[in-house]
Amino acid sequence: MSDVPTEPSTHPIGLQINGNLHQLQVPPWLTLLDLLRDELDLVGSKKGCDHGQCGACTVLRNGRRVNACLTLAVMCDGDELTTIEGLADGDRLHPLQQAFITHDAFQCGYCTPGQICSAVGLAREGRATSRAQIQEAMSGNLCRCGAYSNIVAAVEEALPHMGGPRL
């Protein structure tokens, strides 16, 4: 390490977001969520509580689901990120997106991008298969409309269709 900054300054980072490389200069206090929404116009990820309690900001960081609101952008240098905007294959919806429509798994839709990204992470973890396990493993995503039963049904239906590289 060449120098240790003692004054606030910006830092260069490189991120792979939904397959696209972004070279950016960021202040260290910028959260990943604010970077996505305010700087890159990727507004699918939502700001609900901004404290890691609601899960509306859930994205995939190097394949793992995380709360973007509690992640500093500067700490993501070199990482691969997937947001809700990166799940569909052109006009072909991701199996979870289709399952959410099939099961009417949302009302206002505000929590939905986070729910879907969280469920993609859940599938990748490979730990939850039963309905009860899915409920537990989705507990980091709140839905104030109370669409939980349909959300769990959607995840349950989509799980078997989510093997393979598109995760």
Partner 1 sequence: MMPFAYSKPDSIEQAVQQAGPDARFIAGGTNLLDLMKENVERPSRVIDITGLPLGEVRATPLGGLRIGALVSNAELAWHPEVEARYPLLSQAILAGASPQLRNMASTGGNLLQRTRCHYFYDPAVPCNKRHPGSGCPARDGLNRQHAILGASEQCVAVHPSDLCVALAALDARVLVHGKQGERAIPFADFHRLPGTTPEQDNGLAQDELIVAIELPQPRFVARCRYLKIRDRASYAFALVSVAAGLALTDDNRIAELRVALGGVAHKPWREAELEQSMHGRPASRDTWADFADQLLRDARPLEHNAFKITLAKNAIIRALSQAQAAEEQP
Q: Please provide residue 69's backbone torsions phi and psi, each rounded to the nearest 5 degrees.
A: -75, -20
Q: Quick check: 65 binds partner 1 (CB under 8 A)?
A: yes
Work out which of 22, 50, 157, 167 binds partner 1, going by CB under 8 A.
50
Work out which of 22, 43, 52, 161 binds partner 1, going by CB under 8 A.
52
Work out which of 18, 58, 112, 150 binds partner 1, going by CB under 8 A.
58
- The piece of 40-48, 84-92, 133-141, 148-156 that touches partner 1 (CB under 8 A) is 133-141
Buried b (16+ CB within 10 A) or exposed e, 102-112: ebebbeeebbb
The dihedral through the CA atoms of 114, 24, 16, 98 has a sign that is positive
CA atoms of 85 and 91, how far apart (whole Å): 12
The answer to whether 54 touches 110, Cβ cutoff 8 Å, is no
Contact pattern for partner 1 over residues 77 through 116, marking x by CB under 8 A: ----------------------------------------
How many residues sit in the footprint of partner 1 (CB under 8 A)? 37
